[in-house]
């Protein structure tokens, strides 16, 4: 009997201590900043049910965010969404105000894109505050419009390289014009402006090609430095070809179809910048060389 009474007294004492502590911490508020006290409503809502609900929310994210093993994974090769509208592209300044006409400049150019390697080259150009000109094939644009949009948004420029990469010397004038105009129309539908010049496949031209170009309202721009990337297929050889032949007002040709060309650009671009060259677009190069491009005429660099 005495043992039962002692146990009961211990329980009562424990309850009294608990009530006293609770009253000190919450009820009286003495010595406590009232701004830091738990609001009464919050203390009432903080129940076991609330804790359980919170636990479920953390441990079980929405089903839509957890890929099922029986469902195909998302296509990570899909192009990123672009926020650049055609109106914005059309109103972008054609030239950049960071060009010093008294310093040497070179126009890098890339043929046969757009391609995956184009994105790597654009990354490098942006890293070194540089620009280039990309001669694209009309038949390769569909599905890669975002590459053209990014090219222009980053300050580089887009021009045509015909629709199908056929040797224009083997076509009649009407066929040549169609190759040129179809490509220009597709470019304009993406970036909002049509180029005023193009590059013929293989750099081939004759009087027939020049006449068709004049009728299409387009100048012909070839090159003065050939990287030879399609031939060597070696990043080291591409680097040597460009660095050894680089000169003021040069136009350099290479191809953004190839990963080895992008590999070479990882060395070429910073090296040219280190040597003091400003890497500009062909339009910028011609502007600062006081050259006005004329439809049907052929240009190889800023000097001729």
Residue 86 pLDDT > 80, yes or no?
A: no
Q: Is residue 77 part of a domain?
A: no
Active site residue 111: yes
Cα dihedral value 270, 273, 275, 277, nearest 10? 150
What is the count of structural domains for the chain?
Answer: 2
Q: How far apart are CA 53 and CA 55, in angstroms?
A: 5
Q: How many CA atoms lie within 13 A of 38 on its CB side?
A: 10
Q: Indicate which CATH number applies to the domain containing 168.
A: 3.20.20.370
Statement to judge: residues 61 and 7 lie in one domain = yes
Active site residue 182: no
Highest mean pLDDT among 7-11, 54-58, 280-284: 280-284
Of the listed 96, 111, 240, 259, which one is catalytic?
111
Of the listed 116, 255, 259, 263, which one is catalytic?
255
> Among 50, 65, 80, which residue terminates a domain?
65
Stated pTM of the model: 0.71
Q: How far apart are CA 139 and CA 210, in angstroms?
A: 22
Statement to judge: residues 25 and 168 lie in one domain = no
91-95, 160-164, 204-208, 230-234: segment of lowest average pLDDT = 91-95
Statement to judge: residues 244 and 116 lie in one domain = yes
What mean pLDDT value characterizes the chain? 79
pLDDT at 28: 40
Phi, psi of 230 (to 5 degrees): -65, -25
Count other Cβ atoms within 10 Å, centred on residue 17: 10
Residue 99 CA, chain-centre distance (Å), reads 22
Give the structural domain span for 157.
89-299
Residue 224 pLDDT > 50, yes or no?
A: yes
pLDDT at 61: 33
* pLDDT tens readout for residues 178-196: 999 999 999 999 999 999 9
Q: Is residue 84 part of a domain?
A: no
Q: Is residue 164 part of a domain?
A: yes
Residue 72 pLDDT > 50, yes or no?
A: no
């Amino acid at each position: 009997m005495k043992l039962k009474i002692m146990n009961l007294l211990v329980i009562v004492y424990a309850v009294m201590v608990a009530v006293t502590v609770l009253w000190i911490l919450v009820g009286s508020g003495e010595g406590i900043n009232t701004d830091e006290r738990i609001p009464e409503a919050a203390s009432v809502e903080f129940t076991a049910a609330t804790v359980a609900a919170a636990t479920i929310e953390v441990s079980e994210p929405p089903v839509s965010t957890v890929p099922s093993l029986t469902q195909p994974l998302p296509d990570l090769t899909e192009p990123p969404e672009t926020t650049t509208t055609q109106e914005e592209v059309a109103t972008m300044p054609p030239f950049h105000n960071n060009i010093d006409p008294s310093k040497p400049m070179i126009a890098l150019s890339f043929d046969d894109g757009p391609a995956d390697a184009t994105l790597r080259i654009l990354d490098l150009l942006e890293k070194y505050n540089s620009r280039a000109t990309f001669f694209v094939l009309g038949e390769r644009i569909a599905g890669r419009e975002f590459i053209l949009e990014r090219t222009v948004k980053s300050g580089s420029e887009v021009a045509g390289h015909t629709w199908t990469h056929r040797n224009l010397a083997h076509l009649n004038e009407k066929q040549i014009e169609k190759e040129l105009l179809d490509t220009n129309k597709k470019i304009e539908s993406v970036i909002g402006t049509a180029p005023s010049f193009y590059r013929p496949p293989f750099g081939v031209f004759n009087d027939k090609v020049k006449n068709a170009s004049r009728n299409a309202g387009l100048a012909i721009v070839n090159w003065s430095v050939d990287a030879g990337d399609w031939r060597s297929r070696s990043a080291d050889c591409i680097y040597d070809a460009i660095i050894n032949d680089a000169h003021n007002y040069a136009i350099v040709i290479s191809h953004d179809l190839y990963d080895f060309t992008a590999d070479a650009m990882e060395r070429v671009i910073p090296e040219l910048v280190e040597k003091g060259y400003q890497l500009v677009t062909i339009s910028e190069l011609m502007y600062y060389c006081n050259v006005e491009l004329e439809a049907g005429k052929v240009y190889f660099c800023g000097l001729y």
